[in-house]
Structure 1
Amino acid sequence: MDRQALANRIEHIYEIMRAEGLSLLDYVEQLSWMLFLKVLSDREEERKLEAELRGEKYRPVIKEEYLFHNWPKRFGVDNLKKVKDAQKFYNFVANELWPYLSSLGGSDELNKIGEIFSSISLKIRDPHNLLEIFQNIEDISIDGEDSHIMSQLYEETLMLMGREGGAAGEYYTPRPIVRFMVKVVDPKIGETVFDPFCGSGGFLVEAYRHMYPQAKTAEDLRKLDEAFYGQELKPPAYLIANMNTLLHGVNAKLVKTDTFSEDIRNPGKLYDVILTNPPFGGKVTKANQENLPIKTSKTELAALQYVMRKVKPGGRVGIVLPDGVLSNVTKSYVKVRKELVEKNNVFAIVSLPQGVFANISPKGGTGPKASLLFFERGKPTKEIWYYELVPPNGKNYTRANPVKDEDLSDALEKFEAWKKYLETGDEEWKKKAISENSWVVSIEDIKENDYDLSAKNPNRKLTVEYPAPEEIIASLEEKERKIAELLGEIKSILGEKP
């Protein structure tokens, strides 16, 4: 099936969902569990064939009668397009298949299926609509070219979902930002990659894309297969992350959990690379605050403490943080930043302009002002390379004008020079890393400024434009006139009283 045909098929499915009154987030959630069952069925067919070739007995993950490709048999037909009784099909999905799937457990794979179907609901209410959607999914191949196209279409839908804002935006970080962060952190074959707040799984997918070309042997592929880990609390995002990674061929070990429920004073498993965009402006429960070395109710400050302790010594972290974490003078913020620079090498901070994260602003608008913080665990910070991203052509970033990969090309070029300097100590590379939008700050200056890590571009002159004198006079006269009118109204009201 070519891209246009497949895109038309998915758009038709969305039209059906639109008729049901569902939102774009609902589209992705509902399509995700449906595709999940299709992928599961296709993979089981592969496993069965492989077992037969080895002369072994085939043991399906779930009962064979509930595998997608076996559904038509219970209706006495060989494909879903021949099913006539939509109500009977709906009853099967809602009253038999769903309860079975939501009750599964006992192994990692069964636990995942059980968690997915016990935490979301069937939102398609019309039996004919449900049957028609599955009839459109039935002949989509999740392997080969269809899989590649489907993964692209799915990613495009996630992008649209992010731009819709509000709750949908929580699951989507702009992909140019994700790709930039992956390139800076540069995960290698043999390293583990972890996202403790994985949303739609974008960091894991992009890290896989970055690492896959490095694989040269079967052993490399095996290591790649075991490299990716993620955690997510919200059921829809957990489902979407599972589907997104599956469609992109990433064997991600995803866990549905509240990351802040982990006692990071005893962090357990550590990872080589952490890439994440934690929740902004949320609240850590009082019980979970006990798990933090420095207690805070702020999710973004708790997230920074978490990644500082979950990365291996010598491991690298790329994290999105609201600017307040870098500059807040409250004691807890200062203590966390002090620990950060004393026990970790903060090697780069990229300041993003307002509007880059407009997609995660629940009330609309430009979204939070944020920065990208990068550090390596185990070495104290000596100097930090900063970059200030400036939107091209003087246009602000908005949902309609999102950040693009090419907007970050200069930042990446300057960072590569900075990386060369860190590796060689050659001052010429350091000079190349500095520009109108990039500069270096010593740890001594950071300490003197109460561990303030916020970006203050010394190369950018502060210019203030004042209005012309006649404009100032006109404005004052207008204000005077309004004040006189208001005084007149007050006197009139007072004069009417006895």
Structure 2
Amino acid sequence: MNTETLNDTLAMIDRLKTVCANYGLANDSSEYKIITESFLYKYLNDRMLYELGKLDQFKDCESVSAIEERYRGLDEDARAMLPYELGTVAIIRPEWMVSSLYNLQDDDFAKTFDTALLGIAQDNIDVYSVKAGTESITLFQGVSRFIIEANKRNDFCRSLVGSLVDFSFFDAFSQGYDFFSQVFEYLIKDYNKDSGSYGEYFTPHAIANIMARILAPAGDMNVTVYDPAAGSGTLALALAHQIGEGNCTTYTQDRSQKANEFMRLNLILNGQVGSLANVVHDDTLVSPRHLEPDGKSIKTFDYVVSNPPFKADFSQSRDQLASDKYGSRFWAGVPKVPAKQPEKMAIYLMFLQHIIDSMKPDGKAAIVVPTGFLTAKSKIELEIRQNMVNSGMLRGVVSMPSNIFANTGTNVSIIFLDRSKQYDHALLMDASKLGTKEKVGKNQRTILSDEEIERIIKTFNGSQEQDDFSVIASYDAIREKRYSFSAGQYFEVKIDYEDITPEQFHAEMDERMGKLRELWTEGERLQREIEEQMKAVHLA
């Protein structure tokens, strides 16, 4: 990885944040939109120029500025051919390029900048929009509106463009997933503070890496990947990278608009532009939008990964989800809404059922759940676990260390399902003692080392039993323990024995009896002192 290029990219992001801070928008709800739109605008600008440089008519251009000048000079027919030559690369009109706007002397620059962003979005709507129900959310919505004082909008927009002009993504385009995953995490780290609420989960890359490498250790070909509560897309993108970005198509849905905007950005940065049409902004439980050609049954996938919200307020749609219309999908039942705290409805149980129904007959899945699910005795939890075992698809469970998420104390486990063969046993792993504690902001987070991640993956994929770490439990044994998925309940209890001679035994006993006599003597002395003190108090 090119560290210098990474640092330059992060510095550019910092400049954009500084502009927002200078205009009073630091930590404002609009800041993430301004930062991500400006960043993406620059990324698409440079990507187009980079790809233009590969075409025959540009190969003699020795600099970026030369490519830009050649592009500006193309006639209308040549420019009309570019979408066919560049494929899914966004086309930006010459007058809307970063350098063009930067050099433009315009008394209404804010309007010009917004017009450019909206125009780029409209020109590329067929590839770069996201579905929102039956409508579409375009690539850009403009940024000047977030400055309330109209007389400051021109300078604000000029400052944004000025923060972009001296940076180039050209060296970054040769980097891979590891590079852009770091850039993406840095880009959104300040705008993903609501983890735990619906659609706002940001799954640590360690967990994403473990899930991807256990699900598809050798990659795959021509498959589909799905996340019904995708958040910013960490899990789906990690699995797509493990499979091979060109070997899979990604499908996601989430009801959070912010999460979907992050998801779209993540896909673009990681070369999954072809999957943008499959990003849906809508409520997965009430209105699943990925359907089979009949338009009625939900689509099934080769791989499903998800870190669904554990709890959320679904009080308005709970009765609807519990109706006969949804009965076949939520076969284990719908949890009740807590009367005093509706936001604590165990909504992850609904996603578990949805995920099982979204798997192909030979599909595989990995789902993050609260560790309490592994042993919960309530009807819904028990019936879901029974389904996983009795259908022969429970491959295994990994219980993770506490605080693996910096902003939630909930202990989590990962459940792995596999319908490609019939299992009669599962590998249960207790990795809760791994990792080291690290302070992240005001919270503590557990960090897994590379060696610990490798241990988890190799032990699981190799079906290895290790003392007090992993055990292979037969389905019959799991049934006997009321379908408990907790590894600790299956570990063999071992008692260490040491052979000693009769002389050693008597010597050990004499030593221990001597210590006991000393303790008894000391106890009697203390008792006498207490009695004497009590008499003195009484006489006084």
User: Do the aligned partners of 2:311 and 2:348 also contact (CA within 8 Å) in 1?
Assistant: yes
Shift of 1:338: 1.4
Where does residue 216 of structure 1 map in the other structure?
none
* TM-score, with length taken from structure 1: 0.72
Aligned-partner Cα distance in 2 for 1:231–1:169: 9
1:451 positional shift: 2.2
Q: Indicate the structure with greater helix content.
A: 1
Which range moves more in the overlay, 96-105 or 241-250? Answer: 96-105
Distance across 2 between alignment mates of 1:191 and 1:146: 25
Gaps of 5+ in 2: 58-76, 85-90, 336-345, 495-521, 527-540
Mark the CA change 1:101 to 1:138 in structure 2 (over 3 Å): closer, same or farther: same
Match of 2:424 in 1: 382
For the structure 1 residues 152 and 411, does the alpha-carbon distance in structure 2 shift closer, same or farther, using more than 3 Å as the test? closer
The match for 1:8 is: 11
**Aligned equivalent of 1:287:** 320
Query: Which of 255, 261, 265 in structure 2 is aligned with 1:233?
Result: 255
Deviation of 1:192 after TM superposition, in Å, equals 1.5
The partner residue of 2:391 within 340, 343, 361 is 343
The change in CA–CA distance for 1:25 and 1:272 in structure 2 (over 3 A counts) is farther
Tell me: CA distance 1:170–1:382, structure 2 relative to 1, closer, same or farther (3 Å). Answer: same
Q: Which runs of 5 or more structure 1 residues have no equivalent in the other structure?
A: 213-220, 419-429, 463-468, 474-498
Separation in 2, partners of 1:164, 1:147: 33
Counterparts of 2:195 and 2:381 in 1: how far apart (Å)? 28
> What corresponds to 1:324 in structure 2?
372
The 3 A distance-change label for structure 1 pair 135 and 260 is same
Q: Rate the CA distance shift 1:325–1:69 in 2: closer, same or farther, 3 A.
A: farther
Task: Judge which range, 297-306 or 152-161, deviates more.
Answer: 152-161
| Contact residue 370 and residue 412 of structure 2 kept, 8 A | yes
Q: Tell me by how many angstroms 1:22 deviates.
A: 3.0
Q: Which residue of 1 aligns with 2:235?
A: 203
How many residues align? The count is: 427
RCO higher in 1 or 2 (8 Å CA, sep ≥ 6)? 1
Confirm or deny that 1:404 pairs with 2:404: no
Q: Distance in 2 between matches of 1:460 and 1:394?
A: 27
The equivalent of 2:303 in structure 1 is 273
1:262 deviation in Å? 4.1
1:260 maps onto 2:280 in alignment: no
Q: Shift of the alpha carbon at 1:51?
A: 9.7
Aligned 1:99-138 pairs, distance under 5 A:
107=126, 109-110=128-129, 114-116=136-138, 123-125=146-148, 126-127=152-153, 128-138=155-165
Residue identity matched to 2:429: Y
Contact 2:406/2:445 (8 A) holds in 1 = no
Contact 1:348/1:373 (<8 A) preserved: yes
Report if aligned partners of 1:162, 1:169 keep a CA contact under 8 Å in 2.
Answer: no
Is 1:70 the counterpart of 2:112? The answer is: no
Deviation (angstroms), 1:281: 0.6
- Secondary structure (helix, strand or coil) at the match of 2:484 reads coil
TM-score (norm 2): 0.67
Question: Does residue 246 in structure 1 map to residue 254 in structure 2?
Answer: no
Deviation at 1:97, TM superposition (A): 5.7
Which residue in 1 is equivalent to 2:110? 90
Distance across 2 between alignment mates of 1:72 and 1:100: 12
Cα distance, 1:371 vs structure 2: 0.5
